[in-house]
Structures are given as C-alpha cells and as structure tokens.
Structure 1
C-alpha cells in the first residue's frame, strides 16, 4: 500500500476488505537444482510469519523508483538480519518499475535498478527466508509514471509492457528455488472504491494470465514456481464473490508437478475495520473482545467478521488447492490518542494471524517504516532495532497457534 493510497482511504473513510487463507502442513525447502516438491500446505507452513519491506523499493521520486524517496534509509543486510532474528520467515519486497522501464518494443528495465532489486532479494534469500516480489506502484493512478491502468484505452501497449517487464524479471530469478515467490501486481483496480467495473476487471484477469504464461515460459525453476495473483484491489469480497474474478490457466507449468496440485496462490489484504486499522482521525483506537471503551471501538469488523472473511477465501480457493496469502495486514499507531492502543494493535495482529492459520493462511504484516503517530512500523530502519516487540510477540503467538 502506497502512502498516497493510504491518504485517499483516510479521506474517503473507505475500507479495503481483505484476508488470506492458505493451507498448513509440513515444511519443505526445495533446492535450486532439483524439481521442487511443495504442496499447498507445505508452502504455507514454510512461509510462517511474514513481514513487508514497505515504502522502500516501491517508493519513487518524480516517477523514478528510489528506495530513499519516501524518507527511509537505504536497505541493509543488517535490517533483514534483524527481521529474521525477530522470528519472521518470509519477507515481501514491494517493487515499482515506473520510468525505469524503457521504450517499446523491448521495454527494457534499467539494469542498475534490476540489479538493486536482486541485491535486496538476496539479503533475505541468502539467509534462508522466503521472499515475495511484485509489481507494486505501477498500477496506481496517483503515482507519477504509473502505466498498469486497468481502465485505460491503451490496453495493447499496457499488455505488451507488462509481458516484457515480467519476462525480464522472471529470467533474472529463474534459478532461485521455491523460497522465491513472484506476485503479479498490487491492489490493482480503477481507483474508485466500490463494486468492480467492467471491462476493468476483465483486464486485471488478462494481466494475471499474461503473468502466469510469461513466467512459466522462461523455464528453469519458474516452470514450477509458486505464483501469487490478485483479484480486484486484493479485496476478499470482490475476489471470492461473484464479481468477475477468474483464475488463470496454468497451461505451461512443468509436467513434474503432480496432477491435481496447484502452483498458483491468491493474494488479498486485510485492513478491516479501516476506522481502526488505517483512519487517522484518532477516534477508533481499540479492537476486539478485550476493548474496554465501547466509544473507541468500531461497530463492525471484529473477530466474527474476520473469521467469516477468512473462511470465505478458504471455502472458495484453499479447498481447491490454491493457497491464499494475506499479503498485507496491520494497524497504525494511535497511542498518542489512546495510551492503550498498542495493546489492541497486538490483539488485532494476533487475531489475523491465528484466524488465518485456522483456515490454512499465510500472512505478511505491512510495515511502512514509520514509527510513532500513524506508523505501521515494527522496526527502526536506521538503528536496526525493534520498536514494537509486543506486536511481534503477538504475531509469533498467532502463527504458533496459541
């Protein structure tokens, strides 16, 4: 989630309803030189608790990606080591390409930028972590240089660009093992909160199909790699419900994948209720059955809602062998309005992770690097220190099943 998108949501008091459900099971780690064997339950168990390196490689200055453009320091190995030491097993690295994509027909990614992406991936991958990389800010109309716009009239050019960019990314990472997961896009929609529109949703489905076909055709471990795709705005209702989402065909996958086993995951995000998780008015600061002040607690989006949302993804996708990943969840710091707020942020994080695990889910906490008022941060990226151990403890408690 970009800073711009978060501001828009706060103004509109809109809710992006999301969640994840994926299967749990025995851990298995494939090598880069052998055919990976990783079922839906195994990959989710391997992923464990996840963390987002938010507001870094998706940040930009005047449309050019820059990891320090939004106030964060350069990403270091020391930061990733601290995240791993805290207990996280998966790191999602949001990435924007924007004006670092050259002109057609080749649409060549700036080499220095692709090298830097790989270097940051290696910070985590070489430490044995699972890593997710995506195409993050290229689909936001509010971002300078964005082009992956589902309601644009230039769909032929958009699809050609999308195919060529993912082809380059896939070739760069084709020899990485199953700990590297590629994600098609991020919160792709027409920018209007509400029911999905056509033909915009059909275009999103087309992007997902191009993504799967392109990555698979590059060969190597990409022919059997787990691929993460998204529906409308990573919204649970608009992905699990009858609003137009279609699963891509996986016709070019490796014949070594057992019949009936999928290698496609579904991405959703969870920030419900938004008045607790993201709204910056400071009015709603408590969440869950442990809330002590009813006036500070939202009238919806509590434990029963969370359970129903995760269950709907489980019933729609997990039961058919498609893992579901809550690629983002979390809540902003409102302790300046309510000194007990961080307790409820921990309760929320624990509940999302534990309920997701109940329904076979993988979860990845959204950390935007911000600490203090309105920040999602769990770490100080300048000193490589933990800032909210209680929330980390809650996450680890949730993924542990307690």
Structure 2
C-alpha cells in the first residue's frame, strides 16, 4: 500500500515469498539454499510493519511521521510470539538520497533500516525489505516514476540505491529477502500503459542484476519482483510483464532452481477490504446479511486469482508471495464485521497455501475504525486475536 492512516488502495492481489536458512521440518536445503517449496513453507505466516519506515514528511523519511511510535525490539518480539515467522519492512528513501551520480543514501537512515531489520533477523525471522514510497506520485520526494520523461536518471538512481542497500546486507543469509518495489504503476487505475510497463520491467531487471553483483550472499539470495501495481490480472495476463533474467546469480544455486519470487497484493473486493464506509461489512459464504456483502470477490474469485498465479509462476518454479492482504475495521457499522475480516484472512492464507504462495498481512498500526492493526504498537497488546487465529488456522487447514 501507499502509506498514511489506512494505507488502502486498489482491489488487487498480493502474493509474497521469501528467503533461505534452515528451520522447521522441511527437506534438507540444497547447497545454494532453500528451494521454492521449502522457502514458502519456512516463511509461514507473515506480517507487515506498515506506516513506519516508509512514512515521510515533506519528502523526508521518518518512522514516526504518520503517528506511530518508534519501532522497538519488544514490538517485533510480540509479533513473533503471536505466531508470525516473516516480517515485511516497507522502506522509503526519498530525499535521503543524495545528488547524482553517486546518489548516496543518508548513512543514519540506512543504519536505522538495518537496525530494524536486525530486530527481526536476529530473532530468526524471515525479513522482506522493499522500496516502498519512492514510486508514488502522491508522496512528496517520490522519483521512481514509470512515466517520467527522464528515465535515464530514474534508472541510474534506482541502480545506485539498490547497490548500497544490497551491499549493506551482503553478509545476511537467506532469511533476508529484498523486494524490488511496491505497487509501481502510473497512478491510474486501469489497464497498464506503455512505455510505463516496459520501464517497470526494466526496474525489475536492474534490481536483480544490481543485487546479484553486490557480493556476499546476494548471489544466491531470494529476490522478490512484481508487475504492474502488484495486480494479479496485470501480472499473469497478457499485459506486458516480463520476468527478469538471472544471469549473475551464484553457481552454487542448482541449475534447475529459481531464486526469484513474484509479488502480488490482495484487497478484493475493495468495497469490503478497503472502502471507508459502512456499506459492505460482510464477506464470504457465511455472510448473514446479503445486502452487506459485495456482489463480487468472494471465495470463487479468490481461488481463481491465486490459481492463475500458481499456473503462471509457481508451476514454473517461481514462488509467489501475497505481500499485502487484509481488510479494514468496520465494526463501528456492523458488530459482526471482525468475524468476516477473520474469515477473509483465513481464506486468503488457506487458498494461497493451496496454490504454493506465502502471505504477509498488511498491518498499518492503526486500530479502531478503518484500521488494519493487529497490535497496539505502544503497549504491544494484541488487538485482534481472532484475525491472528484465523491466519494461523488458514496455514494449518491444508
């Protein structure tokens, strides 16, 4: 999502995956790390640290800019204790990137990003680190704009930033996954346009090549790429997405294995998941009031969407990650709403598992009306145990 209070947006899908190391009972890893099925199994239930390191004010990143407190080790420990095994950390760089040709990232900011990564990584969690707000036209200081007229500058800047980030994390093992970008598109909710989509493909290729050449474990690290706005239809369909080549990966990776994943986001139907009103508050076959249930986007739609991801990518060895999914709190309009939010989360996780994808719940830190929060980031209290139980139950259901 973009960011801000509720960080909602399109009715699209997300499938997110991840990393390497050696945890719970999966088959032994190959010399190059975990294979596609192993990494998905290892990642388990995922959670987004949203509205924190991607938050900004007047183009300057700040983890407290959007009303959240400073991220602590105690928060990450609480998330782990709740049963999550993967944490996605959205990051914005914006005006913390210096002038060209070096485009040096502010050292203090990169240090803080690393510190927050370490909160999770040092606890044995899988960590996804993306480039988040830099591609939103609505964010002050954004520059990763796919329909900008100066693509040479955009691409040079993008390459230099990822070069620095990848070098910073070169020594981290496969529990760390790097993610090329977040919901990159031209800002218009409609069919993809050219040359914008070709530029997104180019960003993905620059990302893969740059990280692979950055040394250390980057040669075999799992890398997460995405199509137009991480939308399932626009990534799996005939709209122009091209999976990057991986010619610079380490020879330690077995020839028949991949080391790239595909990301999608899932907020369908949007009138239930993200629309800020009390019109549609129920979801799924258990909905008690048909007038409160959307006319589309139910279990059959979810199944078809994630099946298309499986058929297009997972079946070819590319793990999928639903990097964001969830639904906002509308319980002030319908006291039963949180039950349906839990049903939705359970269904996304269960269906993703069925089709070989991992899932990462979108938590923007906000609780109460229109919030996605599962935790209070000040007291560390769990605010929606029912949704957490549904997520973990979805993983155990198949």
1:17 alignment partner, one of 12, 18, 30: 12
Alpha-carbon distance between aligned partners in 2 of 1:8 and 1:53, rounded to the nearest angstrom: 15
Q: Residues 8 and 285 (structure 1 numbering): CA distance in 2 closer, same or farther, change over 3 Å?
A: closer
Superposed, 1:2-401 pairs within 5 Å as 2-3=2-3, 9=9, 15-20=10-15, 27=26, 36-401=32-397
Contact in 2 for aligned 1:19/1:310 (Cα 8 Å): no
Contact in 1 for aligned 2:375/2:381 (Cα 8 Å): yes
Contact in 2 for aligned 1:91/1:131 (Cα 8 Å): yes
Contact in 2 for aligned 1:22/1:314 (Cα 8 Å): no
Q: Residues 28 and 71 (structure 1 numbering): CA distance in 2 closer, same or farther, change over 3 Å?
A: farther
Q: Residues 357 and 350 (structure 1 numbering): CA distance in 2 closer, same or farther, change over 3 Å?
A: same
Residue 18 (structure 1) shift? 1.1
Alpha-carbon distance between aligned partners in 2 of 1:17 and 1:374, rounded to the nearest angstrom: 18
Contact in 2 for aligned 1:22/1:41 (Cα 8 Å): no
Contact in 2 for aligned 1:334/1:341 (Cα 8 Å): yes
> What SS does the corresponding residue of 1:214 show, helix, strand or coil?
helix
> What SS does the corresponding residue of 1:94 show, helix, strand or coil?
strand
Contact in 1 for aligned 2:166/2:218 (Cα 8 Å): yes
Residue 138 (structure 1) shift? 0.1
Contact in 1 for aligned 2:3/2:55 (Cα 8 Å): no
Higher mean displacement: 35-44 or 195-204: 35-44
How many matched pairs?
Answer: 393
Contact in 2 for aligned 1:356/1:363 (Cα 8 Å): yes
Contact in 1 for aligned 2:17/2:359 (Cα 8 Å): no
| Structure-1-length-normalised TM-score | 0.95
5+ unaligned residues in a row in structure 1: which ranges? 10-14
Contact in 1 for aligned 2:184/2:229 (Cα 8 Å): yes
> What SS does the corresponding residue of 2:131 show, helix, strand or coil?
coil
Deviations 1:275-306 (A, max 9, x none): 00000121000000000000000000000000
Q: Residues 29 and 116 (structure 1 numbering): CA distance in 2 closer, same or farther, change over 3 Å?
A: farther
Alpha-carbon distance between aligned partners in 1 of 2:264 and 2:193, rounded to the nearest angstrom: 18
| Structure-2-length-normalised TM-score | 0.96
Alpha-carbon distance between aligned partners in 2 of 1:8 and 1:216, rounded to the nearest angstrom: 32
Contact in 1 for aligned 2:17/2:43 (Cα 8 Å): no
